[in-house]
Structure 1
């Protein structure tokens, strides 16, 4: 089935494009994920959505198609999911530190993303340097959770067709809705998600999506696109319980001048970052206060989520 009628709606440019309904978005994404579209149609969809932008209803419809095609996972207790798709460019990638702190607190943690990126230091590379598990199937994730370890799972394992959608960026040079969907993916039934954004305008649309889908989530502006607070200054942490923003659980962004700037290594390679994470988890170096506060915020939010 052709998606030409959908492209006609979304491909009219920034001012002329019309949004799809949730049902239409689900149908379009289902065809894409099931391999029913030509490369030309995929490119047309990606470019049209890049210009138009996604509405919360469209994101919800896309997610309706994504969820049934996700690898089935079952955590032994309510999990926390950390989507890790940006990696490190300038600062150490401390997503593994947050994952380790949560796992040490008895929380099953799933980190998902790409295993490698030629221009970034990925969380998977740091997990390997730490000797932590990179899961290749549901059974290996279950086994690691049984050992109270955080788990990294490549998107190619968790959702191969969604990974293919993200890889269109290598051809087109532009992001598409798949990148947003990956960062919103619940991944584990009943899990609490950490949802991060890189640009302020996305904070509004993502908050609307979380409300529309009644999600349990922590929304923040992540460090270089990673789901971890900036080690130097706490961003706003917005907590959602069943889609409702909780002022009691949320934290305001840190203002004013910094009294103390944590010392971070200049090198950001996997081995150096793994040494830093190990030293912080062992108490040999202090965990940066913003990450301590994010960790505590997530534990409080997890307690507030209905069982």
Structure 2
């Protein structure tokens, strides 16, 4: 059956939601044929995934994950798709610390690097913050400290067998797009960064199909899968079954558009961790400070904690300037291990 779908996709035909669901079920249940799987992932990427396909894949993955059952209200995820190849530091992880320090519950879904220099799990390791690897751990963290970082492979054991194929492919795959749709904590709110305008549109439509409560999908017109500090950003607000499109600039939030990427680019997870620490201490280059404020502000807007992104960015700046964001981080790293003592 898998080979039949590969041929169909290679011929640029689209799967409906049920077909995509059945295909992913087959992929999960059968032994991995690396050549066949690589062909499927390549064909999907070349043709472009559809909202129906993403929704169907996500439904099958949901049936095979370890859920985090909780009663915390207003949880948000800041997991993006990755794959923009810009080499920037882990902006969404830094933003998660900031918004959690403001009292916004966060369940951030993430993985190690696949196509980037630093995945969210890689930078957390450098920072001395342990991710949750069981549902019980995630629940305890979410309830006691307002934030949990979910190590995606631990909650999706059925998908581990695809890791080797994904690492061998030099581009992002459909799994990057499915990741934000598959958070085992089922967050009320989501801020998702996409690496292309087409992917952003597709994700917004897939979220609508999946019945998302409220989500913001963003694409920087400079190619960033974040709210950009160097160019306008396309925003897709998914709210109560409707999608609203908008264009946002740093100036809209009272910030200045940066001239270049250089001050937010890193070469490794260690460099990313160092820059995150500088941001939380309010000592980073201005572009780095501003891009975290912008993304944290967008998350707060998404979660209805700020009336506008600008208002949210101002709250983010305040919690950093007060020192509370850094102290909040230090407590998390103290729980995770001794690394914080050197910071």
Q: Give TM-score scaled by structure 2 length.
A: 0.72
Verify: 1:213 aligned to 2:210, yes or no: yes
Give the one of 145, 165, 170 matched to 1:168: 165
* Distance apart, 1:184 and its partner CA: 2.9
Alpha-carbon contact 2:221-2:234 (below 8 Å) kept: no
Matched residue, 1:252? 248
Matched residue, 2:8? 9
* Cα pair distance change 1:241/1:268, threshold 3 Å: same
Q: Distance in 2 between matches of 1:45 and 1:62?
A: 13
The DSSP-based 3-state class of the residue aligned with 2:90 is: coil
Show the 5 A alignment for 1:1-307. Answer: 2-12=1-11, 17-35=12-30, 38-75=33-70, 76-83=72-79, 86=82, 90-116=87-113, 120-148=117-145, 150-165=147-162, 167-215=164-212, 216-221=214-219, 228-233=226-231, 235-246=233-244, 252-254=248-250, 258=256, 264=263, 268-284=267-283, 288-303=289-304
Larger helix percent: 2
Alpha-carbon contact 2:94-2:276 (below 8 Å) kept: yes
Q: Give TM-score scaled by structure 1 length.
A: 0.79
Structure 2 residues not aligned, in runs of 5+: 306-343
Q: Distance in 1 between matches of 2:221 and 2:134?
A: 28
* Cα pair distance change 1:148/1:54, threshold 3 Å: same
* Distance apart, 1:67 and its partner CA: 1.3
* Cα deviation digits, residues 198-227 of structure 1 (max 9, x gap): 122223322322233332211112699876
* Cα deviation digits, residues 134-166 of structure 1 (max 9, x gap): 112112222322342533222211212334335
Cα RMSD (Å):
3.5
Q: Distance in 1 between matches of 2:221 and 2:271?
A: 18
* Distance apart, 1:84 and its partner CA: 5.1
